[in-house]
Amino acid sequence: MDANIQQVQVVLFYNFWKSSNLFKIADSFDKSFANIFDGGQKSVLPVNDQTPPEVPRIIMSSQDGEYQFQLSLLRANFIIQGEVSSKINKAVDFAKKIAAVSLNDYNWSINRIGLVINAKKEFNNNALKFLDKHYFSNNLQSQEKQKEIHSLIEDVWEDEKVNQWLRLKADANYLNIVVDRNLVPDDDRDLSKSDIFQYLEISSEKIKEIISNLPDQ
């Protein structure tokens, strides 16, 4: 299937890094991103230590909103959306930069990675019929307005369990596709830079393959 990739989100999970200076940290990431956030909004949030660790301490958004970066004590999110070409490859490249800064500059421990792709396919006829034909044995009810399936495959990478979710949601003429491939949580896992690079490359190719292998009509 030739679906339109709407958004790519890559997430690196930390073992709760400790903050020394948020400005220095923000500068490190900003520099590695090669000015894509210049002209946009770059925020450092000096919050107190009762603020939940999942609340972002650094938020960057590009001028057109196509690139977003959020850094909390527990995770780094990088999101690409809009009209950017080759979103998946670019997200993987940015995730590698995040990993490099996190490990090389600050020695933070990364224990988990997630890669989530949102895509969309427009059908000339009803997208519910597509879903029904391929996944529900032509049992479409006339009253049905939306239909969706959630499928989980448990994959393995380097002896580590990977959850690979495929979600298909038909709504009128559109089929919304979500592929979420993430390492299962494990606070004791400590990924090296090469682990992370390898996981990202393998996962991005697998996700492309999953979308590509969806039936066309």
- Could you list the residues that contact another protein (CB under 8 A)? 15-16, 18-24, 26-27, 30, 35, 38-39, 41-50, 53, 73, 109, 158, 160, 187-192, 195
Distance CA 5, CA 118 (A): 6
In the complex, least distance from residue 58 CB atom to another protein, rounded to whole angstroms: 8
For another protein, the closer CB: 129 or 189: 189
Distance CA 17, CA 165 (A): 28
For another protein, the closer CB: 100 or 140: 100
Q: Are 183 and 190 in contact (CB under 8 A)?
A: no
Distance CA 115, CA 1 (A): 20
In the complex, least distance from residue 12 CB atom to another protein, rounded to whole angstroms: 15
Tell me the residue type at 110: I
Distance CA 133, CA 199 (A): 34
In the complex, least distance from residue 45 CB atom to another protein, rounded to whole angstroms: 7
For another protein, the closer CB: 186 or 209: 186
In the complex, least distance from residue 184 CB atom to another protein, rounded to whole angstroms: 13
Distance CA 188, CA 3 (A): 37
